[in-house]
């Protein structure tokens, strides 16, 4: 960091931003391991589990849309404090939950906090850091996000190993149930310590100089700039801020800092989104944000343990594989941290999206190798369940899946039966059951429906089971995905969000852009399990690869380079 900068002020800002990024990442990462035990202690349908995963993203979608307004009216610092309070409250709600509703509400509250963090911290970093280190500063926020994900994976793996050790020692019945309940609750409790640190730290953050200037407090804005920059650099940035904001307002002085004036200014910013000189950078930023989530990154991280399980790894190995994957994300984010202000945003996005596309296509091909050999045995399973005579759930229903019965041989080795089912009277609720077997007469046992409904087989397939080797190949594909994402979209998405948005619409525009980002992420997460239940993992990997290819084309042909430019210079480029 050059000597002309105030190291202390910048380091404080980066530390608090890092705590916010850590919590954001922990939110994303911890649910993967928790899903292994949630439905063991709380009765959850397939859709309810997806909703719990998507609750963080859904809450983030809503709050990211509206967070720009209070950030513009009350300032960046107050919104950061509010986000910290909400996160602490969400942890308390989750750890006392004993049903779907409080668990969903607690995760949703975490999402609201995460959405506010995602808006206000990159916004504050963009407005408070010098242009020459803005890329690295914003990349630091992304790096701490990956550290949060990695920490969540390691903590999840720790509690998973604890439960597995109990099973090995012969723990069963109620004792095992208590161990599983303790495991998932303490996965969430572990986030309370960084949350409290983030809450305390937000009180030491100084307000954004650009926000202060826009709200009619130029003397305070200049004072804040002088705390972070040399006198000459502070004066230069202050003059650039004054020129562009004065030009936007069409007057020589900012509006008076009254609450009604701030609200009126916020509404005027909303209307500014439709103006021609703002719409192009706004749409480009929204495209980058939306396509970042269309790569499937959040769902891949949240369901990584489930994906590895279905690729051929057992539950314990899959859980232990998640931390190394997150470590790749973290390490390659550091690489992006050093390269983003050297190679530029455009080139890194192109390299990253190319690597992601290759990894997803390789993953789709690997899943296709065994999913394409599965035979539809819905009729055979439905008939066997109906003939069992069980009015509730069939316990120990014997199935005839011999080559003569299913119409084709499956070859040597283990086979896997995948059953998608529901119960009468439960609407669209669906569950998944998996069975690995070397016997052509496997026994199907479905849990009893608490409401007394009869099982309805929606879809059943039978075919070769994925091997441990297949699971390792998918693990490598996911590692390649995370390394490519970390050095490309992972680092550049926050820069695109903050750098492309003009000063006049930055806080509101960031909120709208992040809403697009979170809406796509929420939709993918909420539909992930039902989608793969009906269409398989090959289809979801191809879906993500298609949109990543579009992302590559947008970066190559539409995105301008913003490396080393002040926010005012970037805005002037779009005006030209």
pTM: 0.67
Cα separation, 306 vs 35, in Å, equals 9
**Residue 292 near residue 449 (C-beta atoms within 8 A):** no
The ranges assigned to domains in the chain are 7-210+265-369+470-575, 375-409+414-464
DSSP bridge pairs for 417: 435, 462
Residues 6 or more apart from 41 whose CB is under 8 A from it?
177, 180, 181, 184
What pairing do the DSSP bridges indicate for beta strands 431-437 and 375-376?
unpaired
Report the pLDDT value the prediction gives residue 511, as an integer from 0 to 100: 72
pLDDT at 242: 76
pLDDT greater than 70 at residue 426? no
Longest dimension (CA), the chain: 86
Burial class (CB in 10 A: 0-12, 13-18, 19+), 481: buried
Look at the domain 7-210+265-369+470-575 and name its fold: Growth Hormone; Chain: A; (1.20.1250)
pLDDT by residue (tens digit) across 177-186? Answer: 888 888 888 8
Q: Alpha helices, DSSP H only, in 374-435?
A: 378-387, 403-406
As a whole number, mean pLDDT of residues 437-461 equals 71
Residues 6+ apart with CB under 8 A from 541: 296, 360, 361, 363, 364, 367
The whole-number pLDDT of residue 540 equals 93
Asked whether 215 and 257 are in contact (CB, 8 A), the reply is: yes
User: Averaged over 421-440, what is the pLDDT?
Assistant: 66
Which residues neighbour 231 within 8 Å (Cβ) at sequence distance 6 or greater? none
Residues 6+ apart with CB under 8 A from 79: 67, 70, 71, 116, 119, 120
- Main-chain dihedrals φ then ψ at residue 393, nearest 5 degrees: -105, 135
- 362 pLDDT band (50/70/90 cuts)? very high
- pLDDT (mean) for 321-347: 82
Judge whether residue 459 has pLDDT over 70.
yes
- On the question of pLDDT at 253 being above 80, the answer is no
Contact indicator for 57, 523 with CB cutoff of 8 Å: no
Give every strand in the sheet of 415-423, ordered side by side.
375-376, 455-464, 415-423, 431-437
- Ramachandran angles phi, psi of 204, nearest 5°: -100, 0
What is the per-residue pLDDT across 526-558, written as a single tens digit (0 to 9) for each?
788 778 878 889 999 999 999 999 999 999 888
C-alpha dihedral (237, 242, 247, 253), degrees to nearest 10:
170
**Adjacent-strand bridge partners of 148:** none
Residue 3: the pLDDT is 43
- Rounded CA-CA distance 517/64 in Å is 9
Mean pLDDT of 503-516: 74
Distance, in Å, from the CA atom of 348 to the CA atom of 488, rounded to the nearest integer, reads 5
- Of the candidate ranges 146-155, 187-196, 242-251, the one whose mean pLDDT is the lowest: 242-251
Show Cβ contacts of residue 253 under 8 Å, excluding neighbours closer than 6 positions: 216, 246
| Number of residues written out for the chain | 576
Token pair for residue 285?
């930023």
- Max mean pLDDT range (95-104, 336-345, 359-368, 455-464): 359-368
Is residue 141 packed enough to be buried (19+ CB in 10 Å), middle (13-18) or exposed (0-12)? Answer: buried
Q: What is the mean pLDDT of residues 193-218?
A: 83
Q: Is 99 exposed, middle or buried (0-12, 13-18, 19+ CB in 10 A)?
A: exposed
Separation of first and last alpha carbons in the chain: 33
């Amino acid at each position: 960091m050059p000597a002309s900068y105030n190291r202390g002020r910048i380091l404080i800002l980066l530390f608090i931003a890092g705590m916010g990024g850590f919590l954001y990442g922990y939110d994303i990462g911890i649910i993967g391991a928790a899903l292994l035990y949630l439905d063991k202690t709380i009765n959850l349908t397939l859709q309810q589990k997806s909703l719990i995963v998507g609750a963080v993203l859904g809450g983030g979608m809503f709050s990211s849309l509206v967070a720009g307004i209070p950030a513009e009216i009350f300032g960046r610092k107050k919104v950061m404090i509010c986000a910290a309070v909400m996160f602490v409250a969400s942890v308390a709600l989750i750890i006392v939950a004993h049903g779907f509703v409080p668990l969903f509400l607690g995760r949703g509250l975490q999402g609201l906090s995460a959405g506010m963090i995602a808006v206000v911290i990159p916004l504050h970093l963009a407005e408070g850091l010098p242009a020459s280190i803005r890329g690295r500063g914003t990349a630091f926020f992304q790096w701490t996000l990956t550290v949060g994900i990695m920490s969540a994976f390691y903590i999840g793996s720790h509690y998973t190993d604890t439960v597995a050790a109990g099973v090995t020692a012969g723990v069963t019945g109620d004792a095992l149930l208590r161990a599983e309940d303790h495991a998932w609750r303490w996965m969430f409790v572990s986030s309370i310590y960084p949350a409290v640190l983030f809450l305390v730290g937000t009180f030491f953050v100084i307000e954004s100089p650009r926000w202060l200037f826009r709200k009619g407090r130029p003397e305070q804005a200049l004072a804040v700039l002088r705390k972070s920059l040399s006198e000459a650099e502070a004066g230069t940035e202050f003059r650039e801020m004054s020129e562009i904001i004065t030009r936007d307002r069409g007057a020589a002085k900012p509006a008076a800092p009254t609450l009604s004036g701030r609200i009126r200014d916020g509404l005027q910013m909303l209307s500014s989104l439709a103006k021609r000189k703002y719409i192009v950078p706004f749409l480009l930023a929204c495209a980058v944000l939306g396509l970042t989530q269309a790569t499937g990154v959040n769902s891949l991280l949240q369901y990584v343990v489930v994906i590895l399980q279905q690729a051929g790894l057992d539950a314990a190995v899959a859980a232990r594989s998640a931390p190394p994957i997150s470590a790749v994300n973290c390490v390659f984010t550091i690489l992006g941290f050093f390269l983003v202000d050297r190679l530029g945003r455009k080139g890194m996005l192109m390299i990253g999206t190319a690597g992601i596309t290759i990894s997803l296509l390789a993953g789709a091909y690997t899943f296709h190798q065994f999913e394409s050999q599965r035979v539809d045995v819905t009729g055979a399973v439905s008939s066997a369940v109906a003939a069992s005579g069980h009015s509730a759930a069939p316990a120990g229903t014997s199935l005839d899946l011999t080559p003569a019965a299913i119409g084709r041989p499956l070859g040597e080795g283990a086979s896997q039966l995948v059953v998608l089912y529901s119960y009468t009277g439960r609407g669209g609720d669906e569950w998944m059951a998996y069975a690995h077997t070397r016997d052509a007469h496997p026994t199907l046992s479905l849990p009893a429906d608490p409401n007394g409904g009869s099982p309805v087989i929606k879809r059943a397939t039978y075919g070769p089971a994925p091997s441990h080797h297949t699971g390792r190949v998918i693990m490598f594909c996911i590692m390649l995905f995370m390394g490519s994402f970390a050095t490309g979209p992972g680092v550049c998405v926050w820069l695109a969000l903050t750098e492309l948005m003009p000063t006049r619409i930055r806080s509101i525009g960031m909120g709208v852009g992040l809403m697009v980002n979170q809406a796509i992420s929420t939709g993918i997460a909420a539909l992930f399990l039902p989608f793969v239940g009906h269409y398989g993992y090959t289809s979801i990997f191809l879906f993500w690869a298609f949109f990543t290819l579009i992302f590559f084309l947008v970066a190559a042909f539409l995105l301008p380079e913003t490396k080393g430019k002040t926010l005012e210079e970037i805005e002037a480029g779009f005006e030209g």
